[in-house]
Amino acid sequence: MTQGLFRNRYSLIWMMVVFSLSLSLLTRIVLLAGAHNSGISLTQALGAFGIGLSYDLTIAFFIVTPFVLQIWLQNDFIYRKKIMPFVCLFFAGLLFILFFTRLVPKDFSPELYKGLIAYVILRFLIYLSLFFLPYKYRIRWRKSVLYAATLLVVFLLLLNAVSEWFFWQEFSTRYNFIAVDYLVYTTEVLGNISESYPLGMILTVLVILSVLIVFLLRHSIRNSVTLPLSFFRRSLLALLILVLPWCLSAVVQEKWRHFSKNEYANSLAGNGMFEFAVAFQQNELDFYKFYQTIPDRTAFQLLRKQLEMPGVQFTGNDPFSIERDISYQEPARKLNVVLISVESLSADFMKYLGNESNITPYLDSLAKQSLFFTNLYSSGTRTVRGLEALTLSIPPTPGQSIVKRPDNHSLFSLGSVFRSKGYITQYLYGGYSYFDNMKDFFGGNGYQVIDRSAIPPNEVHYANIWGVADEDLFSLALHVLDSNYNTGKPFFSHIMTVSNHRPYTYPEGRIDIPPSRQERAGAVKYTDYAIDNFLKQAHAKKWFDSTVFVIVADHCAGSAGSVELPVTGYHIPMLIYAPGIVAPHQFDELTAQIDVAPTILGLLRFNYRSRFFGLDALNTPADKRRAFISTYQGLGYLKNGKLLVQSPVKNLHEYIPDMKTGNAIQESVNDSLAREAISWYQGISWLLKNKKQME
């Protein structure tokens, strides 16, 4: 029976299905072996492998679809000498119709139309050339096509397996929104890979393996061309195989993999390509469709209540508005503000917060001279989510960050408040600002965008694919800030660093960790060095004494954990440094990243009209302190030692998180806490959906 299955016209199809399933199984085994300290039990591992098989089967049958079409439609009859002229005439006629009558729908995509013409021309030329060849060479041609197609698919499957390993090592999960982003920004990503890994050697090994596998499959490829099978039977088998993946995709649900409380096990159960397809389709998740909701009026009542505090007055009676006037009794201070958002600066990198490796010596010393926030939590796990929180002061919404979405211009932002006070507002980035849609987002929200293209090549000490070294970015910043000062206007300049990013390289001779090690500790210590160098030079500037420096992370270096949302993966530091202006002090109260903007404005004692969801952390009552943490699906609300997590489809879970280890104990959901959490996320979703969060 086995011999019959693998020795027929469709033998290559079955062999490719077996190969795909075997590779998926091997990938899952390797990922499990690489999941250090994952806490995956034997039962969870078996569940991951069992559930994962359903995703693997779905992907396997999608992969063989092109082979099915090729073997099904390549009838031996059309390669006979007598019929070849008619085949050529058919394609010539089809080409004539496409060119001169355009017998296609009026709304047909021009790109697809051109592709169709190219395909018909190619087919016509192939059949025309085959007409002049003996029959045995036509058979060889058909074999060659299958050999080439098999080699390409095998290579891509192996490449995907290796990519999954590296992605798992970096993010401790299967493909997700990050992978989709990486597909968009191929220049940076491929450059990053080539600088971080021995890409040439990896590709060479994969090519050799692919050739070897195709050699082992040669009999199946030959059978798919030479063994006879009637068109009727061939059609029945083809239709069955072609329908199967669509049936599987309709039945198999992405939510199946969320079968345990261990997120490593849940990720392991997935299939990289399946998860990639899901993430690609879910750029934005409709809160009202996928999450538990309460009546909108109730949500805003709860939200407005949370935003009430001394010095705050709502501007009207609109029950669906959070617009309010913020006022302070003290006079405003029109100081310059330099906000430095540091790439991937986890709180536990600082010795002050428990690290013993001394990789942030300058920031540790600066903490004693600053207003130092020790209990601050980032909104998400990506730079764009951090930029969203720092700029717009809104809770994270499910799906992609606002920075990456369309229609994200003219939003109420920290920059818009500063501009209303007569400030110059800028965004400075060490890479090219088209990355992550930064240029479009900040430019569309009134910021002057300045990136690495503003630095003359001869002034760049070092650069990798992500951007210039942080010291070069800060040198650019010093020139820009000097220029701002000369205009006589106050300025707000947001600077985004890039060095703490794989491949973790930087100029030689700056710190005691050589860049050749390509390790994160070195990148962190180099950024610490660059900030030290920047502030030392800034100290000699005329504008220094009237400037507030805010140093805060965009997100943590990693957020992996065995629980849904490990709080330790969101813990970040913030230092507000302004000698003679801001008194040094350690601030240990719970603070959200979205609170940074109103806290800065509060320090300046600005009276302004606000649509921020964030609060002035230094003037917030204890009973209203909370933080927001999220993935692209999980929406966390941290308050009073409890973590309420909302996730698709309409799930609510409550935990008691361990703030030191990130582990959590699940408990029954408190209705009051749940409604409060829902009100924040539902409120911002409603305002964005109805375009009410504009300047």
Query: In this predicted model, which residue has the larger pLDDT, 140 or 417?
Result: 417
Q: pLDDT tens for residues 192-242?
A: 667 677 888 888 999 999 999 999 988 888 887 777 777 778 788 888 888
Q: Give the range among 28-37, 116-125, 593-602, 656-665 with minimum mean pLDDT.
A: 116-125
CA angle 587, 591, 596 (to 5 degrees): 95
Confidence of residue 88 (pLDDT cuts 50, 70, 90): low
Q: pLDDT tens for residues 506-548?
A: 899 999 999 888 899 999 999 999 999 999 999 999 999 999 9
Dihedral in degrees, nearest 10, Cα atoms 154, 155, 158, 163: -140
The CA distance from 357 to 458, in Å, is 35
pTM for this predicted structure: 0.74
Report DSSP state, residue 54.
H
* Contact present, 553 and 340 (Cβ < 8 Å): no
Q: Is residue 259 pLDDT above 70, yes or no? A: yes
Predicted pLDDT of residue 219: 86
* Contact present, 20 and 63 (Cβ < 8 Å): yes
**Which range scores top for mean pLDDT: 27-41, 109-123, 284-298, 484-498?**
484-498
Predicted pLDDT of residue 106: 47
Q: Is residue 399 pLDDT above 60, yes or no? A: yes
Q: What is the mean pLDDT of the segment spanning 41-48? A: 91
In a 3-state reduction of DSSP, which class is residue 660?
coil
Residue 672 CB coordination number (10 Å): 9
Predicted pLDDT of residue 107: 46
Predicted pLDDT of residue 2: 43
DSSP assignment of 35-48, as one string? Answer: -TT----HHHHHHH
274: exposed, middle or buried (Cβ count in 10 Å: 0-12, 13-18, 19+):
buried
Residue 352 CB coordination number (10 Å): 19
Q: Is residue 466 pLDDT above 70, yes or no? A: yes
588: exposed, middle or buried (Cβ count in 10 Å: 0-12, 13-18, 19+):
exposed
Q: Give the range among 30-34, 335-339, 441-445 with minimum mean pLDDT.
A: 30-34
Percent of residues, the chain, with pLDDT higher than 90: 55
Q: Is residue 405 pLDDT above 70, yes or no? A: yes
Q: What is the mean pLDDT of the chain?
A: 86
* Contact present, 607 and 580 (Cβ < 8 Å): no
Phi, psi at 431, each rounded to 5°? -105, -165
Q: Give the range among 107-121, 276-290, 369-383, 575-589 with minimum mean pLDDT.
A: 107-121
Confidence of residue 661 (pLDDT cuts 50, 70, 90): confident
Confidence of residue 428 (pLDDT cuts 50, 70, 90): very high
The CA distance from 135 to 599, in Å, is 80
Query: In this predicted model, which residue has the larger pLDDT, 99 or 168?
Result: 168
Q: What is the mean pLDDT of the segment spanning 332-336? A: 97
Q: Is residue 358 pLDDT above 90, yes or no? A: yes
Distance (Å) of CA 361 to CA 141, 190, 529, 530? 66, 33, 8, 12
The CA distance from 6 to 259, in Å, is 35
Q: Is residue 3 pLDDT above 50, yes or no? A: no
CA angle 637, 323, 641 (to 5 degrees): 15
The CA distance from 205 to 314, in Å, is 65
In a 3-state reduction of DSSP, which class is residue 325?
strand
* Contact present, 62 and 247 (Cβ < 8 Å): no
Please, what are the domains in the chain? 2-78+144-281 (no CATH), 336-621 (3.40.720.10)
Strands 463-464 and 491-496: unpaired
The CA distance from 688 to 68, in Å, is 46
Closest CA to 300 of 689, 679, 625, 684: 679
The CA distance from 204 to 224, in Å, is 28
Distance (Å) of CA 425 to CA 381, 386, 415, 422? 26, 18, 6, 9
Tokens 């891509």, residue located = 156
Element (H, E) at 336: strand 336-342
In a 3-state reduction of DSSP, which class is residue 564?
coil
Q: What is the mean pLDDT of the segment spanning 262-276? A: 85
Predicted pLDDT of residue 240: 87
Query: In this predicted model, which residue has the larger pLDDT, 476 or 117?
Result: 476
Predicted pLDDT of residue 197: 75
Percent of residues, the chain, with pLDDT higher than 70: 84
Query: And the tokens for 487?
Result: 């205009």
